[in-house]
């Protein structure tokens, strides 16, 4: 069974630009969550989508947004990039309906210059 796939693995963007990251969950999983990891703040929850609807949201500005498609694939978008947005962005998938483990992708390393 294929794992969670995130693309691209690495990305370099300039301040002010926008970026779109992609996450393909494990087949059959309907929940996709996104996390930001920085050295200073650790792993922080961004938002979660379940059956194409945003179900949970973390404490991030509106520049961070996402969506989920009917095949459960998810994208997150960051607009007007700032230097502080440089981070490892991780997505995790799961059934989304109870107590089970989350399966993480390898992440996208975003560098804003």
Which 1-40 residues touch another protein, going by CB under 8 A? 4, 31, 33, 35
Q: Which position among 19, 26, 78, 92 is part of the footprint of another protein (CB under 8 A)?
A: 92
User: Rg of the Cα trace of the chain?
Assistant: 13
Local structure of residue 73 (DSSP, 8 states): -
Burial of 25 (0-12, 13-18, 19+ CB in 10 A): buried
Q: Which position among 15, 38, 43, 61 is part of the footprint of another protein (CB under 8 A)?
A: 43
Q: Which position among 1, 70, 99, 113 is part of the footprint of another protein (CB under 8 A)?
A: 99
Residues that bind another protein in the complex, under the rule CB under 8 A: 4, 31, 33, 35, 42-45, 48, 50, 55-56, 88, 90, 92, 94-96, 98-107, 109
């Amino acid at each position: 069974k294929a794992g969670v796939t995130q693309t691209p693995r690495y990305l370099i963007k300039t301040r002010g630009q926008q970026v779109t990251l992609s996450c393909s969950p494990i087949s059959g999983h309907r929940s996709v969550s996104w996390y930001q990891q920085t050295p200073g703040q650790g792993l922080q929850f961004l938002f979660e989508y379940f059956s194409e609807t945003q179900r949970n949201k973390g404490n991030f500005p509106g520049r961070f947004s996402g969506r989920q498609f009917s095949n459960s694939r998810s994208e997150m978008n960051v607009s007007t990039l700032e230097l502080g947005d440089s981070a490892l962005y991780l997505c995790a998938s799961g059934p989304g309906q109870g107590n089970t483990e989350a399966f993480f992708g390898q992440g996208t390393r975003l560098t804003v210059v």
